[in-house]
Structure 1
Amino acid sequence: MSTLTPRPSVLFVCVHNAGRSQMAAAFLTHLAGERIEVRSAGSAPAEQVNPAVVEAMAEVGIDIAAQTPKILTVEAVQASDVVITMGCGDACPVFPGKSYLDWQLDDPAGQGVEAVRPIRDAIEERVHGLISAVLSA
């Protein structure tokens, strides 16, 4: 009889959950598959994901058009092993025993796809490193 080990879980948080956190969650889901549980949320979620972000992700073959911004909850933080903030300031609750990282990235809000591409590429690079760190922990 095998014992099921819980998957590590990662929560990406930004203010609107319409850009950076959506891209990070999509990359982690795409690259890690079922090996890591992925969540994203915002402290003040927008009504929809930034269209330039949707377009930039489509350029690399990841469709996030159906995603919707979600409100950050205490439960989401408590259920996550790693919490990565992206400019949400003090809005993210802190709990002992969690790993917190803050990724300093430009906010794609109000930007065109040309400005979103370098942010997308920086997020993808960080997610590759995150996968190695989370799965080897």
Structure 2
Amino acid sequence: MAARFWHYAALAIALAFLLFGLVRLGVGALLTLQSMGMVETAWLAEPVAEVTAFLERKNAVAIFAMSPTAYFLVIMAMGALLLAGAGRYLLQRGGLGFLAAYLGIHGLLFVNFLEINPKLWLWGATIAGWLVLWQARRLRRPSAKPAFA
């Protein structure tokens, strides 16, 4: 009974990570294109301006200063790691390492900019989700069916 709970919880979390990764990758790509001047849309101008202002303030104390384009490329990379990790997890081919790399990069962004902000709850939630996936994987028998079956 408990193993079944962990299985379904892990399935829901892996699907959420897959969707979150797709959003991060897509939005990161659009913001990267906007910041490079390759796309000009009004609805992307405000987020790019906000990130640019944030980086101008925080690059003075940052361990590694970033341009808006570099920051958005990191966001895209984080989305790719979420997609790869969740996809591999659902196919029972691992994936926890990719998700751990995502968590590491997310945490390093807080450290790099010496910034604690409301997005910290998101990082905590993804850590909790990773722990659920790890526990479900630990409880799964080697002969278990793929997570999506």
The question of a shared fold, defined as TM-score above 0.5 by the shorter chain, is answered with no
Structure with the higher fraction of residues in strand conformation: 1
User: TM-score of the superposition, structure 1-length normalised?
Assistant: 0.31
Structure with the higher fraction of residues in helix conformation: 2
Q: Which has the larger radius of gyration?
A: 2
